[in-house]
Amino acid sequence: MPGKLKARIVAGRHLPVMDRASDLTDAFVEVKFGNTTFKTDVCPKSLNPQWNSEWFKFEVDDEDLQDEPLQVTVLDHDTYSANDAIGKVYIDIDPLLCSEAASVISGWFPIYDTIHGIRGEINVLVKVELFNDLNRFRQSSCGVKFFCTTSIPRCYRAAMVHGFVEELVVNEDPEYQWIDRIRTPRASNEARQRLISLMSGELQRKIGLKVLEMGGNAVVGYLQCFDLEGESGLVVRAIGTACTLDKLSSGSAPNTNTHTHPNTAPASNACNSPSKDGKEPVFGEDLLSSSGLPTPFRALPTSSSSPPPFSPSKPCSRQSSSSDTDLSLTPKTGMGSGGSGGKDAGPLKTLLRQQTQTALEQREFPFFTLTSFPPGFLVHVGGVVSARSVKLLDRIHNPALGNTRSYKLLDWNSVTADEPETRDAWWEEIRQEIKSHAKALGCHAVVGYSESTSICEEVCILSASGTAAILNPRFMREGCLDIGIPDHRFEEPSPPSCGFCHIPYDELNMPFPAQLTYCYHCRRQKVPDVLFTTIDLPQEASVTGKGCLIQARLCRLKKKAQGEVNATAISNLLPFMEYELHTQLMNKLKMRSMNALFGLHIQISIGENMLLGLASATGVYLTALPAPGGIQIAGKTPGDLSNEHHISTIQKRINDTIAKNKELYQINPPKLFALDPEVFCGINMELTEELVGSPIPEPRQRSRLFRSHSESSDEVSELDLSHGKKDAFVLEIDDTDAVEDIHSLLTDAPPPTGFYSCNTEVMPGINDWTSAVQMFTSVRVIRLSNANLTNQGLNKIFTELCENLLKSFYFKLRSMIPCCLCHLNFTVAVPEEELIQVAVTAVAMTFDKDQTQEKLADKPITKGTGETEEQLQFPLELCADSSLPNTQPPGSKISGVPESTNVSSRVSSLERSSPLPDGRSRSLRSTRSFGGSSVTVVKMTPLSFLPGTRIIKYLGIINMFFIRETTSLREEGGVSGFLHSFIAEVFAMVRAHVAALGGNAVVSYSMKECVFMENPNKNQAQCLINVSGDAVICVRETDQEPTLPANTGQSCTSAAEGTT
């Protein structure tokens, strides 16, 4: 008997009129937990009843406390007939079971009815008294904290990261039970809501148990999904990362807001003096993706990636050890220290790998659902790994499942033991595949890991993806709590700030062909030319310019089919889809002159007659990676004049677009030509003087230099084709498809002035966020009227759909300019044969533009005076010009910096430098306070933080599932009216629950599921929505004592500034 649950019903308000005669309601309340029910008195003839009930006490097992929600039903008393239900409130009491979360739930909850929506509100008080249970074999896992946030929650510190936890539970879907034929839609919906609530509770409890077994106390990056498999059942599954978290006392909380760790700042340092600042993050970059399927995808990098920038001048640079050359020729440049570059890294890497392996290999799956990490955690990143598998959902005949089964029968060990195991086996298979892909990339772990499904009739695609990585074993070992102190044994000799970009695999034995070059940052190790990842951009990463949302969109028609045939058809299509999506991503990335993707999420959705693929990611220009080549168009038939003309027009348009994009995203990469060994030796000192300080490059020498590195777009046209072919990304126009592809490349409109967009937590290059946030959800469904659509036609429609959605957002949010849409999360579905549904959740955040401009305005360049301060401010300026090896960058020698002089000089010729990092004088544009209203303002955001605020307490996870149905669709304003009010209701219920827990915000909010079905002929519609997030209390940043010092790995300058 380890727990006592107490509930009190205080009052109701705004109740609906239930008695037409009197225009009033005689309301009373039933409070139910498990099988125990209490009732309040009837409060006659009132729409605002005051019950002021006694405390209803439930004595229950803590196991039940975890599984069951408290169910509050408001009814209208009727003397002569059955009482009418007004609506219900399900209260998840899980947050009360953890001492660090909420202690009481108290507040107004919307009374929800699945047919009528919200019908008034009820004020409820809930408390729990827990008794300690010392039973070692207990089934409950009270006290394990759950977080949706995919990073270490602010105000906690990760003492240890244990690893992957997963679980799934299965049940029959009440909607498909025979009884559904005779019961009301309301009863059926409620049965479903309650069942899913129970299953979620059970799932969470079981995962909690696993965490306890591992010795952890929390699950971070908890991702719960449900699969509506229709007749074959309902699966609720979850994955997460088990951790041991220590609560930080307030005041010492580490960076509470991300803008304290602007990427740019470190970036700039990194440029000049990579290692001078020990706090710089490890940047790991890597390449590209391997797909899980046996597809061309994996091979793709080869075909699509541009040759290494240096190749023209030094085609064989790869095999001739370039570092040797450098060393001998330019000993002074500091290459010596960098000499450990490519080759030396080998043994170190191996050592590192071995160390980590011991820690990781004990684990079945070294997966982490986190997308951002404590500094030092991530050592190298190998690229995206993904796996998909197509399964047939066969109905599992189970005699035990029958009409008599109550929901209590969730114990699947006794009932349908085979089913969860089937699903478990499926996932197991996929995870094994992911694991082996990661191994192939020379990585022992997968980060940013997620799983998803798409179901259509009886076919199901299971997908998993993540980013192969090498992690620092420190976090996996017991007893190394001090994350702030770098473990020097494993420290790479290279500056940690670009380490994550360095390839984890063996250069001579690459898992796939890729173009490697020396890191543009530290110059010591090899980096790939492009890097795709599913994680957020590491805070410390050095980025040039701003990032942007990049989407690849694809439709593929398929024949309608059944069963096995259908599944085969789908699995045959998948590799091609992945390949095309990848190609699109790569092209679009180059169009924007960027070289890395973060937050890559590829969704493939099945419909009866088509497959939809949507890949979203945030493109950035990583300073450590080579500049991307341009895109070269080539015709198949060179003789044809008109064709050639056509080609050159397209080529020009592409070049113009690239140039425009460079300007738009402020991509002015440092031109580190000194990095190229050839150039290095070839040019030598003569150039030095000229280049230093001359804003305008000397034409002759310059152009040659540039070409040898990267195709800067404006020069592409001058290049002869053969040159271009080697250097740039070549697209052949050989058929109409290719033309379409190129057109689609050009149709992506950039966001209007004042807007940026990304699908990661924050936008690389923007740091001075102000506190205005606007989270929104938008759903759009289009009907394809033309049955004879081609793949191209479909693609166009789908692309327009996504683009138009974005345009709508920009328009609606125009009052927030300057503003960035962050964490844009697109979900596509094919609800019916001719319907395409896209649901988007994102947050718009304002930032302080003036500051940026000011900074830019006063960017006089003091040449060469490289004190840290200045370097921070003008990160980009360091670039190009000049300094060759021997140039003395006056004053820029910072101790500990290997003299990689080549990097350290500045160029004045750069026009637009990226907005600067600093968080200084970040003005907190405070949002309007809602004084006077009795309703607490609850902010919601899909990010893990709210700008301008500090999270002081996590109150528990919010995980809610709602069904809404209507039989009067027209009267409710049609499908749009129906869904609009439902989404508004879901927001309202989430806010009410958070407020009742004592919170004022939801972070890491996401809408996991939005399943919409309509039958306009019958005037009916139904929608299911599943949302989750972390309820928190946050306070204005200005209210806090100065926080934390920079042991967290960000540059101290910015951190300190952040708090002033």
Partner 1 sequence: MSVELDVFVGNTTIMDEEVYQLWLDGYTVNDAVKVRMEGGVMEECEASADVLLSDTMDQYRTFQMCERLLHSPTKLANQLLFQITPHRQAVLIERYYAFDDAFVREVLGKKLSKGTKKDLDDIGAKTGVTLKSCRRQFDNFKRVFKVVEELKGPLVENIRQHFLLSDKLARDYAAIVFFANNRFETGKRKLQYLTFQDFAFCAGQLINNWTVGAVDNMVEDMDVDLDKEFLQELKELKILIADKDLLDQHKSLVCTALRGKTKAFTEMEANFKNLSRGLVNIAAKLTNTKDVRDFFIDLVEKFIEPCRSDRWTAADMRLYLTHYTNSAHILDTFKHQVVWDRYMGVIKSCIFKMYHD
Instruction: Rule CB under 8 A: say whether 1018 interacts with partner 1.
Output: no
β-strands 631-635, 729-733 pairing: parallel
Near partner 1 by CB under 8 A, which window of 260-268, 335-343, 443-451, 926-934? Answer: 926-934
The residue (of 474 and 939) whose beta carbon lies closer to partner 1 is 939
Near partner 1 by CB under 8 A, which window of 562-570, 627-635, 724-732, 971-979? Answer: 971-979
Near partner 1 by CB under 8 A, which window of 77-85, 611-619, 664-672, 805-813? Answer: 805-813
What is the C-alpha to C-alpha distance for residues 72 and 62, in angstroms, rounded to an integer? 20
Q: Contact at 8 Å (CB) between 1021 and 226?
A: no
The residue (of 939 and 953) whose beta carbon lies closer to partner 1 is 939
Shortest Cβ 445–partner 1 spacing (Å): 36
Shortest Cβ 80–partner 1 spacing (Å): 30
Shortest Cβ 756–partner 1 spacing (Å): 14
Tokens for 449, please give them: 């890991």
Report the site for partner 1 in 670-699 (rule: CB under 8 A).
Answer: none
What is the C-alpha to C-alpha distance for residues 232 and 416, in angstroms, rounded to an integer? 12
What is the C-alpha to C-alpha distance for residues 608 and 620, in angstroms, rounded to an integer? 36
Shortest Cβ 322–partner 1 spacing (Å): 47
**Considering only residues 187, 409, 784, 1011, which one is a binding residue for partner 1 as defined by CB under 8 A?**
784
Shortest Cβ 1025–partner 1 spacing (Å): 11
Report the site for partner 1 in 546-585 (rule: CB under 8 A).
Answer: none
Q: Is 89 helix (H, G, I), strand (E, B) or coil?
A: strand
**Considering only residues 1012, 1031, 1054, 1059, which one is a binding residue for partner 1 as defined by CB under 8 A?**
1012
Report the site for partner 1 in 931-960 (rule: CB under 8 A).
Answer: 931-935, 937-940
Give the contacts of 1014 (CB within 8 A, at least 6 positions apart): 969, 975, 1020, 1021, 1022
Rounded to 5 degrees, φ, ψ at 269 are -60, -45
The residue (of 86 and 781) whose beta carbon lies closer to partner 1 is 781
The residue (of 509 and 929) whose beta carbon lies closer to partner 1 is 929
Shortest Cβ 807–partner 1 spacing (Å): 5
CA 867 to chain centroid: 36
Please list the residues that pair with 730 across neighbouring strands: 632
**CA-to-CA separations, 289 to 346, 414, 468, 612, in angstroms, rounded:** 22, 42, 9, 20
Q: What is the DSSP string of 373-395?
A: --TTSEEEEEEEEEEEEEEE---
Shortest Cβ 906–partner 1 spacing (Å): 36
The residue (of 111 and 243) whose beta carbon lies closer to partner 1 is 111
Instruction: Rule CB under 8 A: say whether 930 interacts with partner 1.
Output: yes
The residue (of 271 and 992) whose beta carbon lies closer to partner 1 is 992
Report the site for partner 1 in 754-783 (rule: CB under 8 A).
Answer: 774-783
Instruction: Rule CB under 8 A: say whether 835 interacts with partner 1.
Output: yes
What is the C-alpha to C-alpha distance for residues 625 and 672, in angstroms, rounded to an integer? 11
Q: Is 559 helix (H, G, I), strand (E, B) or coil?
A: coil
The residue (of 743 and 812) whose beta carbon lies closer to partner 1 is 812
**Considering only residues 18, 148, 600, 979, which one is a binding residue for partner 1 as defined by CB under 8 A?**
979
The residue (of 654 and 940) whose beta carbon lies closer to partner 1 is 940
Q: Is 802 helix (H, G, I), strand (E, B) or coil?
A: helix
Instruction: Rule CB under 8 A: say whether 976 interacts with partner 1.
Output: yes
What is the C-alpha to C-alpha distance for residues 550 and 287, in angstroms, rounded to an integer? 17
Report the site for partner 1 in 114-133 (rule: CB under 8 A).
Answer: 118, 121
The residue (of 428 and 985) whose beta carbon lies closer to partner 1 is 985
Shortest Cβ 688–partner 1 spacing (Å): 46
HEC string of 403-435? CCCCCCCCCCCCCCCHHHHHHHHHHHHHHHHHH
Report the site for partner 1 in 12-41 (rule: CB under 8 A).
Answer: 13-14
**Considering only residues 554, 991, 1024, 1034, which one is a binding residue for partner 1 as defined by CB under 8 A?**
991
The residue (of 120 and 254) whose beta carbon lies closer to partner 1 is 120
Q: What is the DSSP string of 733-759?
A: E-SHHHHHHHHHHHH-PPPPTTEEE-S
One-letter amino acid for residue 794 of the chain: L
- Number of residues interacting with partner 1: please give it, by CB under 8 A: 59
Q: What is the DSSP string of 281-297?
A: PP-------B-SSSSHH
Instruction: Rule CB under 8 A: say whether 926 interacts with partner 1.
Output: no
What is the C-alpha to C-alpha distance for residues 506 and 148, in angstroms, rounded to an integer? 35
Shortest Cβ 732–partner 1 spacing (Å): 31
Shortest Cβ 845–partner 1 spacing (Å): 13
**How many residues appear in the chain?**
1060
Look-up of token digits 């999904």:
225
The residue (of 196 and 781) whose beta carbon lies closer to partner 1 is 781
Instruction: Rule CB under 8 A: say whether 332 interacts with partner 1.
Output: no
Instruction: Rule CB under 8 A: say whether 108 interacts with partner 1.
Output: yes
Instruction: Rule CB under 8 A: say whether 248 interacts with partner 1.
Output: no
The residue (of 381 and 983) whose beta carbon lies closer to partner 1 is 983
Give the contacts of 299 (CB within 8 A, at least 6 positions apart): 512, 513
The residue (of 154 and 993) whose beta carbon lies closer to partner 1 is 993
The residue (of 860 and 931) whose beta carbon lies closer to partner 1 is 931
What is the C-alpha to C-alpha distance for residues 751 and 212, in angstroms, rounded to an integer? 47
Shortest Cβ 13–partner 1 spacing (Å): 7
One-letter amino acid for residue 879 of the chain: C
Q: Contact at 8 Å (CB) between 222 and 240?
A: yes
The residue (of 18 and 940) whose beta carbon lies closer to partner 1 is 940
Instruction: Rule CB under 8 A: say whether 786 interacts with partner 1.
Output: yes
Tokens for 871, please give them: 């370097």
Instruction: Rule CB under 8 A: say whether 79 interacts with partner 1.
Output: no
The H or E element containing residue 849 is helix 849-857
**CA-to-CA separations, 828 to 450, 602, 681, 802, 803, in angstroms, rounded:** 17, 11, 53, 10, 14
Instruction: Rule CB under 8 A: say whether 305 interacts with partner 1.
Output: no
**Considering only residues 104, 985, 1019, 1040, which one is a binding residue for partner 1 as defined by CB under 8 A?**
985
Tell me how many degrees the CA angle 616-542-489 measures, rounded to the nearest 5. Answer: 110
Number of other CB atoms surrounding residue 862 within 10 Å:
14
Q: Contact at 8 Å (CB) between 477 and 399?
A: no
Shortest Cβ 117–partner 1 spacing (Å): 9
Near partner 1 by CB under 8 A, which window of 649-657, 811-819, 874-882, 903-911? Answer: 811-819
**Considering only residues 395, 636, 814, 970, which one is a binding residue for partner 1 as defined by CB under 8 A?**
814
What is the C-alpha to C-alpha distance for residues 858 and 1044, in angstroms, rounded to an integer? 30
The residue (of 544 and 1000) whose beta carbon lies closer to partner 1 is 1000
Q: Contact at 8 Å (CB) between 22 and 14?
A: no
**Considering only residues 75, 198, 555, 983, which one is a binding residue for partner 1 as defined by CB under 8 A?**
983
**CA-to-CA separations, 417 to 169, 234, 395, 398, 421, in angstroms, rounded:** 10, 14, 14, 10, 7
Instruction: Rule CB under 8 A: say whether 110 interacts with partner 1.
Output: yes
Instruction: Rule CB under 8 A: say whether 299 interacts with partner 1.
Output: no
The residue (of 484 and 977) whose beta carbon lies closer to partner 1 is 977
Instruction: Rule CB under 8 A: say whether 928 interacts with partner 1.
Output: yes
Q: Is 943 helix (H, G, I), strand (E, B) or coil?
A: coil
What is the C-alpha to C-alpha distance for residues 868 and 906, in angstroms, rounded to an integer? 13
Rounded to 5 degrees, φ, ψ at 594 are -115, 165
Binding site for partner 1 (CB under 8 A): 13-14, 108, 110, 118, 121, 749, 752, 774-786, 797, 804, 807-814, 835, 837, 928, 930-935, 937-940, 973, 975-977, 979-981, 983-985, 987-988, 991-992, 1012
